[in-house]
Amino acid sequence: MGRPRQFDEAGLLDAATELFWSQGFDDTSVEDISRATGVGNGSVYAAYGNKQGLFLAVFERYCEGRARFVREVVGAAPGSARAAVRTLFQAIIDDCAAQPNRRGCLMINSVAQLGARMPEVVAISSKTTAAMEQGVAERLYPAARLGGSKVDEAAVSAHSANIVVVAQGLIQLSRLGIGRARLAEIAEVSSRALPSDWADRVAG
């Protein structure tokens, strides 16, 4: 059993997330994080081994949060499956607008920057993407089942994956400076790609 942390671990990970996200892995040092949190270098190294160990703890925590965000937004959205997808896309666009300096998504950024160096980043990102797709699929299935005919599970899975890809694309486009109105147009076109024979049903 590991020793309990002698510092506020959640606070440390929050601060480290902000630094890694805004500055990138290479331009963020353990000393930067120590200065931001008041936690000594020795405590950080004792807890996480090295900067990479700390980053991976930050990254997995961030990715779990993103998967939870997608699942909770689509799961709580009222109305039809299509309405839930629109709600998700709007939440993504709003979240992008709230990020300082259009910094995008830590997961997407890190795959591009670190995927070739840290296989753990790719593995965590793959697991997270699958969890997002599953969360979307769980919201789509009830509507697809309402018609009484057999559900094409492969099609629902493919639509769920496409929705996640579009959501991630909206984040990237926002990072490039594309405005909210254009992002909303793209999101609306993508929501219309759902099959009309079940996407507008309201499963209660």
- pLDDT, tens digit (0-9, with 9 covering 90-100), for 7-18: 899 999 999 999
55: which residues sit within 8 A by CB, 6+ positions away?
Answer: 16, 20, 25
Q: Which residue has the tokens 């949190």?
A: 37
Residues 111/60, Cβ–Cβ less than 8 Å = no
Using DSSP, how many helices (H) and how many strands (E) does the chain show?
10, 0
CA distance 107 to 31: 23
Among the four given CATH numbers 3.40.50.10860, 3.60.9.10, 1.10.357.10, 1.10.1530.10, the one describing domain 58-199: 1.10.357.10
- Render each residue's pLDDT in the chain as its tens digit; 204 residues: 445 567 899 999 999 999 999 999 999 999 999 999 999 999 999 999 999 999 999 999 999 999 999 999 999 999 999 999 999 999 999 999 998 888 999 999 999 999 999 999 999 999 999 999 999 999 999 988 886 667 889 999 999 999 999 999 999 999 999 999 999 999 999 999 999 888 998 865
Query: Which 8-state DSSP code applies to residue 3?
Result: P
132: which residues sit within 8 A by CB, 6+ positions away?
Answer: 66, 67, 70, 71, 164, 167
The whole-number pLDDT of residue 1 equals 41
The whole-number pLDDT of residue 100 equals 83
pTM: 0.92
Domain borders along the chain are 58-199
Residues 19/35, Cβ–Cβ less than 8 Å = no
The whole-number pLDDT of residue 101 equals 86
CA distance 76 to 150: 25
SS3 179: coil
